[in-house]
Amino acid sequence: MLFLRYESFRQYVRLYPANTALLAVMLVLFLAQRIFPVLTFRLMATNIPPASQEIWRYLTAVFLHAGWMHLLFNAFALFVFAPPLERLFGSWKYVLFFLLCGIFGNVGALSFAGGQPVSVVGASGSIYGVFGAYLYMALFQRHMLDPQSRTTVYAILAMGALFSLIIPNVSFMAHFFGVFAGFVLYRWAGADNLR
């Protein structure tokens, strides 16, 4: 199965340097949020003026998290599921893919807020972007995923959609737009050449 991690810590860092760096930035910023709570309000994405005009927040919000459980879920998903995509893309292209999916997820969440004041934090849009890429593989490049991995992708997307709809303060739109971005960006990046 593609998503089982057998690497030691040193092997993981060597094989997946970009993913390791993303995880480290998320952890450092989370600790900084605990020490300086105002940091969350300075960096989160929001549709509340005047901060809504600061478009760089769509990027910075990707690395913030609302609590320990939020961080742990996202860090676990990133640690387990993203490494094969980094190997496939290469580190720099993978980081660009990850960031664009997160930005697009945040833009989607705020654009479809229905006039309600909304703020978003978290790497969920990026992580669902990773699953969007795997969804493309599962549908159009079946040879790239073994049957268990395809089943895992479908199950995570189905459970993620359900949880996004029923759990308060979870942004269904950020997840949906993350999946959409990952699906499209993976195809646009030349999916046929990534074999």
Catalytic residues, which ones? 124, 175
Cα separation, 85 vs 93, whole angstroms? 10
Specify the length of the chain in residues: 195
Record the tokens describing residue 61, joined without a space: 């919000």
Q: Are 86 and 155 in contact (CB under 8 A)?
A: no
**Nearest residue to 92 (alpha-carbon basis) of 19, 149, 24, 155:** 19
DSSP 8-state code for residue 57? H
Q: Are 84 and 2 in contact (CB under 8 A)?
A: yes
